[in-house]
Amino acid sequence: MDTLRDICRRAGLKATHQRLEILREMLQAKDHPSAEQIHQRVLRRLPTVSLDTVYRTLAAFDQHGVIARVFSSASCVRYDPAPERHDHFVCVKCNRIMDCRVSGAGRLRVPATVRTMGTVERIQVEVRGVCIRCLNRARGRRRWWKQTPE
Ligand SMILES: [Zn+2]
Ligand SMILES: [Zn+2]
């Protein structure tokens, strides 16, 4: 297992204490957190770290390929501990982002006109829907008036 320090060094980033703590939280995250969420979590270990530092550090990790920005239609910028290609299920109700793999998504053919627009860096599929948690919550609410079975 690579240590956090190794990961920073290999990415060409100086392994400062703040960076290591932010990276630790980021790599543990399962929820594609926003910078604000990472800031809240890092505050437990580093009570003086500023939100601005967290923003700048996450941006540097993203630029160096350690983590990835999630390009999704969810409300704000979210970060992903897994920079390699994968797809996302995004809940339209609670903005929860979950990893999934859509088979063939990496081999989708981009029309030639895209080349006149610019270069392609990645192709990612976003599956949008209502997550199981939100569905269960909605079902729970509906039960009181629903007398007949479907
Ligand atoms: Zn949801
Ligand atoms: Zn992801």
Query: Which tens digits make up the pLDDT trace of 52-65?
Result: 999 999 999 999 99
pLDDT at 147: 53
- The C-alpha atoms of residue 111 and residue 115 are separated, in whole angstroms, by 8
3-state secondary structure of 80: strand
Burial 86-110 (b: 16+ CB within 10 A, else e): bbbbbbeeebbbeeeeeeeeeeeee
- Give, as residue ranges, everything with CB less than 5 Å from ion ligand 1: 91, 93-94, 96, 131, 134
CB 5 within 8 A of CB 17: no
- The C-alpha atoms of residue 95 and residue 137 are separated, in whole angstroms, by 15
The percentage of residues in the chain with a pLDDT greater than 70, rounded to a whole number, is 91
Among the bound ligands, the one closest to the CA of 98: 2
Among the bound ligands, the one closest to the CA of 92: 1
What contacts 24+ positions apart, CB below 8 Å, involve 41-46? 45/21, 46/17, 46/18, 46/21
| Centroid of ligand 2 to alpha carbon of 43 (angstroms) | 24
Say what the alpha-carbon torsion angle 60, 61, 64, 70 is, to the nearest 10 degrees: -110
| Centroid of ligand 2 to alpha carbon of 28 (angstroms) | 13
| Centroid of ligand 1 to alpha carbon of 137 (angstroms) | 9
| Centroid of ligand 1 to alpha carbon of 23 (angstroms) | 26
CATH code of domain 85-141 = 3.30.1490.190
CB 111 within 8 A of CB 122: no
- The C-alpha atoms of residue 71 and residue 78 are separated, in whole angstroms, by 8
* Residue 126 CB contacts under 8 Å (≥ 6 apart), including other chains: 72, 73, 87, 88, 90
In the chain, CATH 1.10.10.10 sits at 1-83
> Higher model confidence: residue 72 or residue 126?
126
| Centroid of ligand 2 to alpha carbon of 117 (angstroms) | 26
Whether the pLDDT of residue 150 is over 70: the answer is no
- Nearest to residue 30, comparing CAs of 93, 99, 85? 99
The correct CATH number of 1-83 out of 3.40.50.300, 3.30.70.100, 1.10.10.10, 2.10.60.10 is 1.10.10.10
In the chain, CATH 3.30.1490.190 sits at 85-141
For the whole model, what pTM was predicted?
0.77
Whether the pLDDT of residue 149 is over 60: the answer is no
- The C-alpha atoms of residue 133 and residue 91 are separated, in whole angstroms, by 10
Q: How confident is the model at residue 50 (pLDDT cuts 50, 70, 90)?
A: very high
Among the bound ligands, the one closest to the CA of 91: 1
